Structure 1
Amino acid sequence: MKLTVPFLCLLLCVPFASAYDRITGQPFATRSEVLASNAMAATSQPLATQVALDVMKRGGNAVDAAIAANAMLGLVEPTGCGIGGDLFAIVWDAQTKQLYGLNASGRSPQSLTLDYFKQQDMTKIPSFGALPVSVPGAVDGWFMLHERFGSIPMTAILAPAITYAREGFPVSEVIAYYFQLNKKRIGEYPNFADVFMPTGDVPKKGEIFANPHLAATYEKIATGGRDAFYKGDIARAIAAHVEAQGGFLSYDDLAAHQSNWVEPVSTNYRGYDVWELPPNGQGIAALQILNVLEQYDIESMGLNSAEYVHTFVEAKKLAFEDRAKYYADPEFSATPVDFLLSKDYAKQRRALIDPNKAAARYEAGAYEGDTIYLTVADQQGNMVSLIQSNYRGMGSGMIPPDLGFVLQNRGESFSLEAGHANVFAPNKRPFHTIIPAFITRNGKPFMSFGVMGGGTQPQMHAQIVVNMIDFGMNLQEAGDAPRILHSGSSEPTGHKMKDGGYVSLESGFSSLVRRGLTDRAHVLRDAPGAFGGYQAIMRDLKTGVYYGASESRKDGHAAGF
């Protein structure tokens, strides 16, 4: 074949990192959305997406498929989730035509007190080991969802993950990378090698990995229900192992656990109702950011302009100061959600932003008075937004023998500062970073989405909304667009922001924009790999067609039928 000059120019003149040669779309690396008429699933690992679709093809609904995908992710992506962790979900129920929120996060040990940490001269709860372990809420969350919305037996829902756990699966690239990272963090703890290093090392990309211990645990849960996990041999094994490692989580803590149905909360952004769950999670921070940004003509600023980045970062700082002060378990501290989400309060906060200079820090407003995300939609119109995590990658490092999973370290997120809303107390839920999101328009389901990644999440939720509504991107482009990350905020653990923190920009922002930010006194710092992981499903309100999008920064996959 003879190459013409124009064809050679296409090969040689266009940077391969860009998407300039796309027929449609934005001038950054992206790909087409996935479209399907009947059902859609988007998860952070292709095998989990296929499991969700298989469950729906066999008669299950979106909730059944979401549970199946989550169980599968606990096997194929234990570097980000598992039944040793917590779960949050927002469900659009097509029958009642409304949203339901589930908080399936666990509480701290009843026998552990703030005085213990003081006696140990601790100013912060450690990241790893037995002390940060709280009750894992995910399994109870599965059964709460299933009892209310499920349509097929739990044995059928967990069967695919059990089969893969026994027979093995090829490990994908990003997950293989995080296996190596977690080996350095927690590889020396008991039972890690037994579960995750059967060949002498953690699995590499393309290697077949099986987890027979997890298969057996899933079988017990499938046949014995949630009590098999919280009141049976599994609970006794968890409690015994934590106690042996110097921790406090007990059988009674597990047996007493109960998830809660909660009312999602929202703000209207330019005609779209954006929904999050209330604290102890951080979802309302995304809504606070959007309330401030709504007061600006974002579209006229231009995508990725220094003016827009500056405005976004300052809005984020304002929201995160409130996050640090107010967000906590509502059973212990009444977070003023209505006040924080009011448009009047947003106007007061917006007035603090200097358009030409970054603030060193803001005070919180005065009030008186590593993770997986998945989303599934089915033929009936049900949609599920679900997020689940062990917290720092694989969690605490506490791996009860013969169970095949790691316990979370969510207790690390408590403050040890007396009087703080999020201060440690027995039987209390810690501040949580994982947040599912949903958008409705005119009372109808429009979009189910989420972004993985700690304090990254509210920032990226807001950016996804802005990318679609202000900058006119499609579902996939909104997730692939270069992202803005501000770090170093005050934290709910009691640690204060110093000197304004720093801003990290993904590749795709020009040197001119970076210079414009430093001229406004922002400190720039690279943060490779810290920009989160996105999945989303959108429904065309006229045709009923589902649009799916998946994170290009992860091993994610969206598919439908």
Structure 2
Amino acid sequence: MKRLLVTLVLLATLFSAGAQTQKPVLHGKNWMAITGKPLAATAGAMIFQQGGNAVDAACAMLAATCTMWDVLSWGGETQALIFNPKTGKVIAINALGVAPTGATSAFFHEKGMEFPPQYGPLAATTPGTVGGLCLMLANYGTMTLEQVLKPAMELAAGYPIEAQTANQMERGKEMIRQWPYSKAVFLPHTGEKREAPAAGEIFVQKDLLETLRKMVEAERSALKRKMNRKDAIMAANDRFYKGDIATEFVRGAQEQGGLITLQDLANWKAIEEEPMKVSYKGIDVYKLQQWTQGPMLLQALNILENFDLKSMGYNSARYIHTIYQAMNLAFADRDFYYGDPYFPPAEPMKGLLSKDYARMRAAQVSNDRNMAQASPGDPYPFQGGTNPYREMLKKRGFSLDTTSTNRPAGFMPAHDNRTGATNAAESLPLDSAYMERLWAGTTSVEAADKDGWVVSITPSGGWLPATIAGKTGVGMSQRLQSFVLDSTLNPFNVIEPGKRPRVTLTPSMALKDGKPFLSFAVQGGDTQDQNLLQFFLNMVEFGMNVQEAAEAANINSNQLWLSLGGEKTADRKPRAGSILLHDNTPVWVQQELRRMGYSISLDDRTSGPINAIYFDWKHNSFWGGSSNHGEDYGIGW
């Protein structure tokens, strides 16, 4: 006990006094630009220096990261939160593509799949990023599309490629060879020992450059016809989704076996929405709606508000246990109740985000044992309704008894664990393929300016190895894999043409006293909201600054259904009690967690790259944080 108290005192001292971080805090007075690649952050800085606002700069960084294949491309999807200082409101941007014509459960079942495929033309939703960028820029930016795309077009004309991306191309070359348009772009040295570009080689994308040029040409033409800036940007958007770019995209996709039609592209558009929000100790936290996993973080905060986290101590066994349990309960709800709000049935979000529901869920947390059978709750009574899925949940072995707390371990439903495990020792193994699916990356974009505009984006899709659609240079999304084909897994997220899959992508924003407090995002598949939750608590509960919080050791739970990768149910099942800890976690903390039923993995990396901006209203300045993992980079002025 004495040893534990000494550890907690040392940790408290470390983070109150200001720890030495591996990367410095970024400071700025006029603007801040942070994203997944140094050159892309430079693109944002260039736009700021030319007089653009945070939306302009964010769009330039988004375009640059897509062009640099920073675990995404132009055919992927974009999710964003924007703070508008003129209205004092947070705006949500839904630029997620939809399932194409013919993408049904029956179609994939006939191919012997239990989930849509991980790669290739049949994994693609319709492109969303182009529409999201155009919508944001038109409604809230100040510049033309041509100005914002200029850095990306220079990159497409040729830039010195980084080792990380070049090596991804080389590792994926066996798959890339299947797709002729991808092969032409990614393997310029076909037949040689190394077929992908080498680090530092000038990587040229002529077809993509032509696609971007066509969009700029459409904008110029519209401006010559005396259209206003907004309509001219949307004319470029229409050329992508309804014009000659769309025609070539569909031709190239279908040639390689894809399902996307011209009508699918023409019918799709980005949507501006109301974000979801909860208040945690006087701080309003905003996330996108239930077509993302974002509300899971809000649910976890509501649950954790019922515990005195600060008194437990940062990353003590009790703190880790409590965080893990709250996340698992929120993930159980995510895995069953989240889906596209534009398709029936309606998700019970009012109940799920209710403080009363959270208190009920918090009461189910055992003080000394992992709940290996953590199940979806019943939010319907908390919004004045009756759960229509009680029988479905009972068939899966879940109990909706809300009166019992600290329930003893029962059997794990067959769907949820191959072995019927009730403890960590029997949990499914964590092989490299599983961890790759769990950590599947993306990028993030954070921008803020002195006039009060703030942008947080988590774009993704079309990552390497990607299928390029024809001569467009545009990589197709792989997001269809986030649907389920079996309604008993999630009746709200069953694949259907025109429907959006429930994705992991989840930008975040927090306001305090009506003013921006934090803008933050991270890459990493199902770990995103796990790491963002802990980042937020690191600052709010433990007083870390934004860079300390970005570098701090986190935990990751594997007791959830994976959202990405693997065409078989066994690939995605929860790993009961499986937890990732930082390898500097004290031995006695590990021992205590094992006694609670956890199976521990250790690593020196426990979070994807977190990018964030903290708003210092006392000094009217920005503090930027960018994780010490990966190539993420920021610039402030």
| 2: CA distance, partners of 1:295 / 1:146 | 41
Residue 127 of structure 1 contacts residue 409 of structure 1 at CA under 8 Å; is this kept in 2? yes
| 2: CA distance, partners of 1:184 / 1:306 | 44
Residues 1:210 and 2:204 aligned together: yes
| 2: CA distance, partners of 1:184 / 1:67 | 33
| 2: CA distance, partners of 1:22 / 1:322 | 33
Give runs of aligned pairs for residues 257-336 of structure 1, distance below 5 A.
257-332=268-343, 333-336=345-348
Residues 1:413 and 2:482 aligned together: yes
Residue 176 of structure 2 contacts residue 183 of structure 2 at CA under 8 Å; is this kept in 1? no
Residue 266 of structure 1 contacts residue 273 of structure 1 at CA under 8 Å; is this kept in 2? yes
Match of 1:556? 632
| 2: CA distance, partners of 1:54 / 1:481 | 31
Q: Kindly state the Cα deviation for residue 554 of structure 1 after the two structures are TM-superposed.
A: 1.0
Q: Which moved more, 1:186-195 or 1:214-223?
A: 186-195
| 1: CA distance, partners of 2:268 / 2:127 | 9
Match of 2:536? 465
| 1: CA distance, partners of 2:294 / 2:114 | 27
The 3 A distance-change label for structure 1 pair 21 and 208 is: farther
The 3 A distance-change label for structure 1 pair 83 and 97 is: same
Residues 1:191 and 2:184 aligned together: no
Residues 1:42 and 2:34 aligned together: yes
Residues 1:384 and 2:455 aligned together: yes
| 2: CA distance, partners of 1:311 / 1:425 | 37
| 1: CA distance, partners of 2:460 / 2:117 | 18
Q: Tell me the percent identity.
A: 33
Give runs of aligned pairs for residues 508-519 of structure 1, distance below 5 A.
508-519=584-595
Letter in 2 for 1:135: T
The 3 A distance-change label for structure 1 pair 196 and 299 is: same
The 3 A distance-change label for structure 1 pair 350 and 80 is: same
- Alignment match of 1:367 (pick from 357, 364, 379): 379
The 3 A distance-change label for structure 1 pair 512 and 88 is: same
Deviation string for 1:230-286 (max 9, x for gaps)?
112221122112222222111110111111111111111122111101110010001
| 2: CA distance, partners of 1:405 / 1:530 | 32
Q: Kindly state the Cα deviation for residue 21 of structure 1 after the two structures are TM-superposed.
A: 12
| 2: CA distance, partners of 1:535 / 1:286 | 17
Match of 2:422? none
Letter in 2 for 1:66: A
- Alignment match of 1:348 (pick from 360, 363, 373): 360
- Alignment match of 2:513 (pick from 425, 442, 459): 442
Residue 213 of structure 1 contacts residue 403 of structure 1 at CA under 8 Å; is this kept in 2? yes
The 3 A distance-change label for structure 1 pair 310 and 203 is: farther
Match of 2:7? none
The 3 A distance-change label for structure 1 pair 308 and 178 is: farther
TM-score, normalised via structure 1 length: 0.91
Q: Kindly state the Cα deviation for residue 507 of structure 1 after the two structures are TM-superposed.
A: 2.9
Deviation string for 1:46-101 (max 9, x for gaps)?
1111110110111211111111111111122x141121100011001122221111
Gaps of 5+ in 2: 1-12, 219-235, 386-440
The 3 A distance-change label for structure 1 pair 177 and 488 is: farther
Residues 1:25 and 2:18 aligned together: yes
Letter in 2 for 1:100: I
Q: Which moved more, 1:400-409 or 1:201-210?
A: 201-210
Residue 55 of structure 1 contacts residue 65 of structure 1 at CA under 8 Å; is this kept in 2? yes
Q: Kindly state the Cα deviation for residue 526 of structure 1 after the two structures are TM-superposed.
A: 4.5
Three-state SS of the structure 1 residue aligned to 2:254 is helix
Gaps of 5+ in 1: 1-19
Match of 2:610? 534
Three-state SS of the structure 2 residue aligned to 1:438 is strand
| 2: CA distance, partners of 1:315 / 1:177 | 38
Residues 1:52 and 2:47 aligned together: no
Q: Kindly state the Cα deviation for residue 508 of structure 1 after the two structures are TM-superposed.
A: 2.7
Q: Kindly state the Cα deviation for residue 205 of structure 1 after the two structures are TM-superposed.
A: 3.3
Match of 1:14? none
Residue 166 of structure 2 contacts residue 198 of structure 2 at CA under 8 Å; is this kept in 1? yes
Residue 82 of structure 1 contacts residue 388 of structure 1 at CA under 8 Å; is this kept in 2? no
| 2: CA distance, partners of 1:331 / 1:250 | 21
Q: Kindly state the Cα deviation for residue 191 of structure 1 after the two structures are TM-superposed.
A: 2.1
Aligned length: 538
Residue 98 of structure 2 contacts residue 500 of structure 2 at CA under 8 Å; is this kept in 1? yes
Three-state SS of the structure 2 residue aligned to 1:88 is strand
Three-state SS of the structure 2 residue aligned to 1:389 is coil
Match of 2:464? 394
Deviation string for 1:6-65 (max 9, x for gaps)?
xxxxxxxxxxxxxx99996337x5332111110001111111111101101112111111
* CA-atom RMSD in angstroms: 2.3
Residue 361 of structure 1 contacts residue 499 of structure 1 at CA under 8 Å; is this kept in 2? no
| 1: CA distance, partners of 2:502 / 2:580 | 24
Q: Which moved more, 1:277-286 or 1:415-424?
A: 415-424
Match of 1:6? none
Residue 44 of structure 2 contacts residue 57 of structure 2 at CA under 8 Å; is this kept in 1? yes
Letter in 2 for 1:291: N
The 3 A distance-change label for structure 1 pair 489 and 163 is: same
| 1: CA distance, partners of 2:582 / 2:301 | 21
Q: Which moved more, 1:361-370 or 1:273-282?
A: 361-370
Q: Which moved more, 1:501-510 or 1:98-107?
A: 501-510
Give runs of aligned pairs for residues 157-236 of structure 1, distance below 5 A.
157-166=148-157, 168-183=158-173, 186-200=176-190, 201-224=195-218, 225-236=236-247
TM-score, normalised via structure 2 length: 0.80
| 2: CA distance, partners of 1:236 / 1:109 | 15
